[in-house]
Amino acid sequence: MYAEPAADVGPTEIVAQSDNALAEQAKAGDTRAFEALYRAHVDRVYAICLRMVADIGWAEELTQDAFVRAWRRLEGFRGESAFGTWLYRVAVNVVLAALRTERRRKARFVRAEVHDVGCSATPGEAMDLEKAIAALPPKARMVFVLHEIEGYRHDEIAHAMHIAPGTSKAHLFRARKLLQQMLEQ
């Protein structure tokens, strides 16, 4: 699957192409096309990973994993949805799989420093909310991020997290309550 990019295609031409066209080229092994997809989407993928794990170093690793996973699974992308939509779901699945299987990460999870994850470009209230989200218990944080920020439904979250839809609702209920308490303080 891996191959050198075509020599006659310049970076400007690559950037100008649509995601789906780039994805088709990447499927053929063109890593420059895939790099263009990376450049276009890395900020969003990284934001998802960071909000879900509240740890900068781990979020970087997971972002890399998400793109590597996407590269491996490009054959499964049929262009029926936007490439970004597909890629973000791959990223969410990578994060959830990592959380399920890498129990050794748990200690690191708990130690995550809230101030590490604030977005310097986000002023006032949004900054407080980012910190509060980062301070949520892991599962409550994941459900909140997926439901309230990424727009997933409870049945989708339940499927992805291997929990019952009711449990997803319970986590969201708890997350909202905790956030409101934290923001009122």
Partner 1 sequence: MKCPGDLLRIDEWSAADRADHVRHCQRCSAAIRLRAAARALPRSRPPDRDLWPDIAARLADESGAGVRERGTRRVWRVAAVFLVLALATAVWLMQRQPDVSWDVARTEGAPVVGETPLLDTGRLHKGEWIETDARSRAALIVPELGEVDVAPNTRVQLVESGLQEHRLTLEAGAIHARIWAPPRLFYVQTPSALAIDLGCEYTLSVDSTGSSWLHVQFGYVALEHEDRRAVVPAGSMCLTRPGKGPGTPFSEHSTAEFREALIRHDFSSEPDALDDVLVRATTTDVVTLWRLVQTVRPTDRSRVYRRLTALTAAPDGVSTAGVLRLEEAAVDAWDHQLGLVFEEWKY
Cα 134–Cα 139–Cα 140 angle in degrees, nearest 5: 65
Q: Which amino acid is it at 26?
A: A
Given the complex with partner 1, which of 82 and 164 has the nearer CB atom? Answer: 164
Segment interacting with partner 1 (CB under 8 A) among 7-15, 16-24, 97-105, 133-141: 133-141
CA atoms of 17 and 163, how far apart (whole Å): 39
Q: Binding of partner 1 at residue 178 (CB under 8 A)?
A: yes
Q: Which of residues 3-62 bind partner 1 (CB under 8 A)?
A: 3, 29, 31, 34-35, 38-39, 42-44, 46-47, 50, 56, 59-60
Number of residues that bind partner 1 (CB under 8 A): 52
Contact by Cβ (8 Å): 101, 152: no
CA atoms within 13 A on the CB side of 161: 26
Segment interacting with partner 1 (CB under 8 A) among 12-20, 95-103, 106-114, 175-183: 175-183
Segment interacting with partner 1 (CB under 8 A) among 13-21, 90-98, 103-111, 177-185: 177-185
Distances (CA, A) of 146 to 6, 11, 16, 73, 155: 38, 34, 31, 22, 11
Q: Which residues have a Cβ under 8 Å from the Cβ of 162 and sit 6 or more positions away? A: 100
Tally Cβ neighbours within 10 Å of residue 30: 21
Segment interacting with partner 1 (CB under 8 A) among 13-21, 92-100, 102-110, 129-137: 129-137
Cα 104–Cα 109–Cα 110 angle in degrees, nearest 5: 110
Minimum CB separation from partner 1 for residue 6, in Å? 16
Q: Can you tell me which of 72, 100, 106, 108 binds partner 1, judged by CB under 8 A?
A: 72
- Residues near partner 1 (CB under 8 A): 1-3, 29, 31, 34-35, 38-39, 42-44, 46-47, 50, 56, 59-60, 63-64, 67-68, 71-72, 119, 121-122, 125-126, 129-130, 133, 137, 139-140, 144, 148-149, 164, 166-167, 169-171, 173-174, 176-180, 183
